Amino acid sequence: MTPGHARDALRICLVANSRFPIVEPFTGGLESMTWHLARELTRRGHEVAVFAAPGSDPALGVVELEVDALPEHPGRRDVDAPPSVELAEHHAYLSLMLDLAGRPGERFDVLHNNSLHYLPVAMARALPMPVLTTLHTPPLWWLESAVRLDRGSSSFAAVSQHTAEAWSPITRSTCVLNGIDVGRWPAGPGGSAAVWSGRMVAEKAPHHAVLAARRAGIPIVLAGPVLDTDYFRAEVEPLLGHGATYAGHLGQADLAALVGGSAVAVVTPAWDEPYGLVAAEALACGTPVAAYARGGLPEVLSRDTGRLAPGGDLDALARAIGEAATLDRGRCRARAVEALSLTRMVDDYEDAYVRLLGRRLAA
């Protein structure tokens, strides 16, 4: 237990995204958040069961979801039928929820849903334990329909105030900013180059980071998994060289060293980012951030830890890169420790679990 925040041990069921395993190096912020949450809850003495995709970290005591994609039928496919992987995910979550609605579910005090699937929400009222769902995305039609079907059985948290406001016409949610393990993202010495990290997909727009860094006259290193090969080959690869380097999909320690050894981190979402975990990771390393002011990113940064530019404005982003690189690295680190830490996030979720249990007992 953390000092001053002792809790009775709870039996917590964590339901993860089934699309990507919960294992390092992480595919994205959702997988990272779930992994860190499970580890910290366990460290605090709670009994945690993680239901996650095959290949997830066995140290978490994972129960693997049975996500076996059905083979495509060689004949004519019904155009209204979901792709095989979506059908497999549906069956995996349906099997899990039916199990948890029976005797296996009675061993848990609370279920914390970190998946993006509709069934854990739609079936929440059939479960014997209270359900907390974290909203990691803007409203998605399939998840929105499940929330309406839920009839108030679930409670919701959102990863930023921006995300909470986006969901507000549909459901109320409490803002719990994502947190990072500041011990695993130590303060670094800085350097002469910029850094961009994240998934290599169009919605993250790493090519904008290269173009803006070039206009700012600073070299840049990109790091992250290539999830959209066509996008990477068409938009990113042609820009490499001339001060732009792709370092690959790095393990956590190597990525932290790269970010901490950089002058500035560049964050370039082409959509309204629900939170912006890479910005928090950079601040923990003492590295100031230049970012597009989209989604939750303005909540992560403060005036003395980063500079914001209008989304898509490369000239403004280039100016932000130059200004951010001059900011005090100690203040960046302090911002992460005080407001963006894993300790604070898990404290908030423990409070939410206890409130849910109190509500259930009083009903």
CATH number of the domain residue 104 falls in: 3.40.50.2000
Integer Cα distance of 64 and 8 in angstroms: 27
231 domain residue, yes or no: yes
pLDDT in tens, the chain (363 residues): 343 355 689 999 999 988 889 999 888 888 999 999 999 999 999 999 999 988 999 999 898 887 664 444 444 444 444 566 788 888 899 999 999 999 988 999 999 999 989 999 999 999 999 999 999 999 989 899 999 888 788 999 999 999 999 999 999 999 999 999 999 999 999 999 999 999 999 999 999 999 999 999 999 999 999 999 999 999 999 999 999 999 999 999 999 999 999 999 999 999 999 999 999 999 999 999 999 999 999 999 999 999 999 999 999 999 999 999 999 999 999 999 999 999 999 999 999 999 999 866 555
**What range defines the domain where residue 350 resides?**
11-179+342-362
Integer Cα distance of 314 and 326 in angstroms: 19
310 domain residue, yes or no: yes
2 domain residue, yes or no: no
Q: Do 332 and 350 belong together in one domain?
A: no
According to DSSP, the residues that pair with 291 across neighbouring strands are 267, 308
188 domain residue, yes or no: no
pTM: 0.87
Q: Do 354 and 305 belong together in one domain?
A: no
CB distance 294 to 276 below 8 Å: no
5 domain residue, yes or no: no
Q: Do 199 and 165 belong together in one domain?
A: no
The predicted pLDDT at position 6 comes to: 53
Q: Do 144 and 274 belong together in one domain?
A: no
Q: Do 355 and 335 belong together in one domain?
A: no
Buried b / exposed e across 160-183, counting CB within 10 Å, b at 16+? bebbbebbeeebebbbbbbbbbbe
- H or E stretch covering 208: helix 206-216
Q: Do 301 and 319 belong together in one domain?
A: yes
Integer Cα distance of 173 and 144 in angstroms: 13
Which of helix, strand or coil describes residue 300? helix
220 domain residue, yes or no: yes
The predicted pLDDT at position 3 comes to: 39
Rg of the chain taking only CA atoms, in angstroms: 21
The predicted pLDDT at position 2 comes to: 42
Instruction: Tally the domains of the chain.
Output: 2
189 domain residue, yes or no: no
The predicted pLDDT at position 86 comes to: 81
| 124 half-sphere exposure, CB direction, 13 A CA radius | 27
No. of H helices and E strands in the chain? Answer: 13, 13
Q: Do 300 and 164 belong together in one domain?
A: no
The predicted pLDDT at position 68 comes to: 63
Integer Cα distance of 51 and 40 in angstroms: 16
The predicted pLDDT at position 11 comes to: 96
Q: Do 85 and 99 belong together in one domain?
A: yes
The predicted pLDDT at position 78 comes to: 42
Structure tokens at 223: 């790091």
Q: Do 262 and 283 belong together in one domain?
A: yes
Q: Do 145 and 216 belong together in one domain?
A: no
CB distance 172 to 156 below 8 Å: yes
133 domain residue, yes or no: yes
Q: Do 295 and 358 belong together in one domain?
A: no
The predicted pLDDT at position 8 comes to: 86
DSSP state of 309: E
Q: Do 240 and 280 belong together in one domain?
A: yes
